[in-house]
Amino acid sequence: MGRARSSREAAERWLLVTVSTAASSTLRVHAWRKLRSLGALYLQNSVVLLPDRPETARAVARLLDRLRRSGGDGRLLTITITDPDEERQVIAQLAAERSDEYQEIVSRVPAFLEEIAYERKRGRATYAEVEESEADLERLRKWFARVRARDYFDAPERAEAEQAVERCAAELAAFEAEALAAELPEEGSTTAPTKLRAVEGDRP
């Protein structure tokens, strides 16, 4: 797993980050959440490794500034891993963590599709149901985008997760078209919306 690198490529540069939160649980949680959101690999309790990228360097610098202003401390070192086997293991571990996250996204897709199928079966292709599913899809898309942003070495499961999210989008688009046809017939159609026909049918 991980990105193959030819001998001609420059050595990967890494950020070695240490943090101290001065026994503050609030700072500890903040640092942990931020570093995990960046896809950091924990080497020890307060020591992490990240690929050196402009976005990771900026984010870590902001984090350390926040820690220092709040009574904590930290250090950022730029390093290279001279042992190729060790570096491959680090990259494989980072890729494996992203793969797990992509698989978690994929595991949520069946429930999304089953919910749409269930509402179809009930004849409930409505705007309200479309809106609810749209919110679920947006959460999936944002989740995928966050994982993709910290997938520095192109984990192989990314394509599967992306296809799964797009399948949800396609199914929702079809469901939305059904809701539109049910609630708002085409202009010139003599067929009234289902709900209106039901009301009129109840009149004496």
Q: 3.30.70.240, 1.10.10.10, 3.90.700.10, 3.40.50.300: which CATH number matches 13-80?
A: 3.30.70.240
- Categorize the per-residue pLDDT at 62 as very low, low, confident or very high, splitting at 50, 70 and 90: very high
User: What does the pLDDT read at residue 201?
Assistant: 44
Report d(CA 132, CA 119) in Å as an integer. Answer: 11
What is the percent of the chain where pLDDT is above 70? 85
Going from the C-alpha of 154 to that of each of 24, 25, 135, 144, 158, the distances in angstroms are 35, 34, 27, 13, 7
Can you give the residue ranges of every domain in the chain?
13-80, 88-185
User: What does the pLDDT read at residue 122?
Assistant: 87
**End-to-end C-alpha distance for the chain, whole angstroms:** 71
| Angle between helix 54-69 and 25-37 (nearest 10) | 180
Please answer whether residues 46 and 28 qualify as being in contact, where contact means their C-beta atoms are separated by less than 8 angstroms.
no
Residue 30 above 90 pLDDT? yes
Report d(CA 29, CA 81) in Å as an integer. Answer: 29
Instruction: Give the predicted TM-score (pTM) of the model.
Output: 0.82
